[in-house]
Amino acid sequence: MNRLTKLFSEKKSNILNIYFTAGFPELNDTGKIIETLAESGADLIELGMPYSDPLADGTTIQDSSSIALKNGMELDTLFKQVTEIRKTVDIPIMLMGYFNQVMQFGETKFFDNCVNAGIDGLIIPDLPMDYYQIHIQSLLEERDIKMTFLVTPQTSDERIKQADKLSSAFLYIVAKSSITGKTTDISNNQLNYFDRLKAMNLTAPQLIGFGIHDKTSFDQACKFANGAIIGSEFIRLLKREGLSGIKEFIESIK
């Protein structure tokens, strides 16, 4: 069974998904960070594929991506690192990146490498759902790789339902119409947005992201979804404290 399927079948609430950029702060930190996150109680890891032109990332994640690229991180290296850490760690791991990266690597080659490395799912924000259905969906289903699509407060009901249907991992609920990294509290408009989603009786598990940064915001988000995603704040922690602060950070959220 796919690790994501197992996670969401066994745990229905307070799921903690941690995002960080592969190859940051140092090239060979990826495996050590994954191992420490798993040991510290994270439920799911979203591993960013460093990219020179990200669309949805704030300055914090953009900076970490730039540093990772300067460190020499490439997709081949990323796959090798995950393959190695899979010898000791069984936590679900997803790759987050952009479709141009997949196309440049070669779609079939990329998906085969995901299988061989032990990647459970993908988040590709700029992948059109129609293209996915026609060209990609069957390739992933054959390989038991799960997919996540994102919805925002501006997404139409029709597209939300389509994203829900196609999201075989979970539905990524973007908490606001902005780039990642903002840390304001949940607003009335967001509450209305969450209520709107709830009324739609969607079927995929849901995780809320963008702006989740501490226990308070995590707990708030978990009232409206199966869990939440912390990215920029974790990147800031790595930049500030390195790997030494990971355990305490996760414990402070959980």
Catalytic hit among 46, 120, 164, 233: 46
In a domain? residue 135: yes
Range of the domain at 85: 14-253
In a domain? residue 43: yes
Does residue 57 carry a catalytic annotation? yes
In a domain? residue 6: no
Q: Are 151 and 174 in contact, with CB atoms under 8 Å apart?
A: yes
Give the count of domains, the chain. 1
Q: Which two tokens stand for residue 100?
A: 């141009």
Catalytic hit among 43, 57, 120, 164: 57
Mean pLDDT of 183-212: 86
Mean pLDDT of 26-48: 98
At which residue do the structure tokens 């590709």 appear? 124
In a domain? residue 38: yes
In a domain? residue 137: yes
pLDDT tens per residue across span 176-185: 744 344 445 6
Assign residue 206 the CATH number of its domain. Answer: 3.20.20.70
In a domain? residue 8: no
The mean of the pLDDT values for the chain is: 93
- In our burial notation (b when 16+ CB lie closer than 10 A, e otherwise), range 186-222 reads beeebeebbeebeeeebebbbbbbbbbbeeebbebbb
Does residue 46 carry a catalytic annotation? yes
Query: pTM here?
Result: 0.93
